[in-house]
Amino acid sequence: MNNLCNLCPNNCNVNRENGVGFCGVNDKIKIAKYYLHPFEEPCISHKNGSGTIFFCGCSLKCVFCQNYELSRNLRGKEITVKELANIFKILENEGADNINLVTPTHYSTKIIEALSIYKPKIPVVYNTHGYENLEILQELNNFVDIYLPDIKFYDKKIAKRYCEKENYFEYASKAIEFMAKKPLVFNKNGKMLSGTIVRHLVLPLNIADSKKILDWFVGIKDNAYLNLMSQYTPFGNIEKLKELNRKISKREYDSVINYALSLGIEKMFYQQFESADKKYIPKWDY
């Protein structure tokens, strides 16, 4: 492999030893926090919490990003591959129910190196925005037990409006169809050991787009779980996007859930209709 980075569909073709591409980070790993995170799906956070590592930079950069400090401002601390492997060990020793790699795409080769040094005995979770290259996922697949991808937008114009990537769905849908081949396995206590949970954040005034996503999800509904998320909170660079300046209504959320049920989607998580707010954004450590 040459030194030019084409890890994700941005295909920047830059040398990250002396530059950065769209994700904004060089070839050093940078993280903002690691801890036992209690707010993932119940089968992921389970009893002790998910051993979550938040990576800095992002190869998607949605306008409404809640983790702006990390994704754009790159607030964090550089660590080596060996230190990352050691963090896996620390979280495992603290009793983490899994190792949860948040926004890992642009570090995927480094993550493979770290998991080659130390593969925890607990499941490894790849928690991604979904904008992934299939070839890289194939390389990662032996190291990952659980996929936690977002599926954000269906329509090209909406994807362009919110993240400047018209081809988002094209890449994310293929990536998730690949991920959904992981066998679904839970232990007797309901903890997830293997499989895929697809997350979709319902956005205000975008219910038609959510329904197109559900039509697509039907094709993988027997092999993957769906999490319909209601907690959209206006945040980030959205002044010019008027529709994003409010939370979703209960009616909008119910309409999406009812549509999912009408399509026979049974493997589904949905939330109490209460909007999470900024209190669910962790305090960053660095």
- Give residues in contact with ligand SF4 (CB under 6 A): 5-8, 10-12, 14, 16, 21-23, 59, 106
Q: Work out how close the CB of 156 gets to ligand SF4 at its nearest, in angstroms, rounded to a whole number.
A: 20
Q: Work out how close the CB of 8 gets to ligand SF4 at its nearest, in angstroms, rounded to a whole number.
A: 3
Q: Work out how close the CB of 136 gets to ligand SF4 at its nearest, in angstroms, rounded to a whole number.
A: 9
Q: Work out how close the CB of 216 gets to ligand SF4 at its nearest, in angstroms, rounded to a whole number.
A: 24
Nearer to ligand SF4, 49 or 57 (CB): 57
Name the DSSP class of 110: H
Nearer to ligand SF4, 11 or 167 (CB): 11
3-state helix, strand, coil in the chain (%, to 5): 35, 20, 50
Nearer to ligand SF4, 59 or 210 (CB): 59
Nearer to ligand SF4, 31 or 248 (CB): 31
Q: Are 101 and 125 in contact (CB under 8 A)?
A: yes
Nearer to ligand SF4, 48 or 109 (CB): 109
- Pick from 165, 169, 256: which is nearest to 208 by CA? 256
Q: Which two tokens stand for residue 40?
A: 């993932």
Q: Work out how close the CB of 218 gets to ligand SF4 at its nearest, in angstroms, rounded to a whole number.
A: 30
Q: What is the 3-state secondary structure (H, E, C) of 210-257?
A: HHHHHHHHHHHCCCCEEEEECCCCCCCCCCCCHHHCCCCCHHHHHHHH
Q: Work out how close the CB of 6 gets to ligand SF4 at its nearest, in angstroms, rounded to a whole number.
A: 5
Name the DSSP class of 163: H
Nearer to ligand SF4, 21 or 195 (CB): 21
Q: Are 143 and 124 in contact (CB under 8 A)?
A: yes
Residue nearest to ligand SF4 (CB): 21
- Euclidean distance between CA atoms 50 and 5, whole angstroms: 30
Helices (H) and strands (E) in the chain, counts: 9, 12
Does residue 136 sit in helix, strand or coil? helix
